[in-house]
Structures are given as C-alpha cells and as structure tokens.
Structure 1
C-alpha cells in the first residue's frame, strides 16, 4: 500500500502543481485520495472520515465548494 500511496501522491502533486497556494495543493491532493479510497459515498463528509488525519471536513468542503481554482488546468493535466 505504501508504494501505491507514493505513486498517488506524485500523481496528485503533478495534477495540482499549477495551484499557487499550498493549501489548495494540499486539499486537492486529499480530495483525489478521498475519491480513490474504498467507500460508496464520495461526498465530503464520508471522504473526510476515510482520510483520517488528512480529512479535515471543513477544509475539504471549502476546497470543493468555494476555493478559487481553475478546473481547466486540472483537466489539461489529467488528459
């Protein structure tokens, strides 16, 4: 599992490298991990619970709902 986590962290770091703010990069990476973890519900509250210490529900919800970032950059990096 450690090797997969390292690969996932490297992928997420590259995905969000264009974000100027460190907190946006951090919560973007946590959001990607939350989406890929086991669990049926992919809304913020259950994802934050599965993320454990990385799962601050309020900060994750802020990233998803109100944090200003350009999704075009993420889409381009994903493609």
Structure 2
C-alpha cells in the first residue's frame, strides 16, 4: 500500500496478468510507506525468501541477512 500508486491500479494490473495466464507474486503490507520504513525487517525477510526460493529452489534456508543498523528516522532522512 503506497501513496505512489492507487491500490485499484495495482489490482487491475494483477487481474490482467492473471487473465494473460502470467505468474504473479504480490506482497501487500497495509499501512507501510512507499519505502517500507515501518516494517523493514519483514519486507527484507520476504524479499530474501523470494530471491532464495527463485534462485536456489522452493524452500528458503532458515537463515536471514543481518538487521540493518540504520534506524527508521535516519532511513527516512535519506529519502526525504
């Protein structure tokens, strides 16, 4: 959920991809900002799982990248 694109537009795109029999992966994080400042660990974990699953096979390993040392306020300043 982002202020950069209306959710209806995203759902229309997904509907058209499904109609074209394309594979679709969609992660919706309600209440998150465009840069996912409110939930970076969750988004990083899901991104990691997706990449590992696509590159190494269907089951991601039980390890994850180390947490980012940047706090949300500093990260927000980078994108301000």
Which one scores higher on RCO, CA 8 angstroms, separation ≥ 6?
Answer: 1
By percentage of residues, which structure has more helix?
A: 1
TM-score by length of 1: 0.28
TM-score by length of 2: 0.27
Which entry has the higher C-alpha Rg, 1 or 2?
Answer: 2
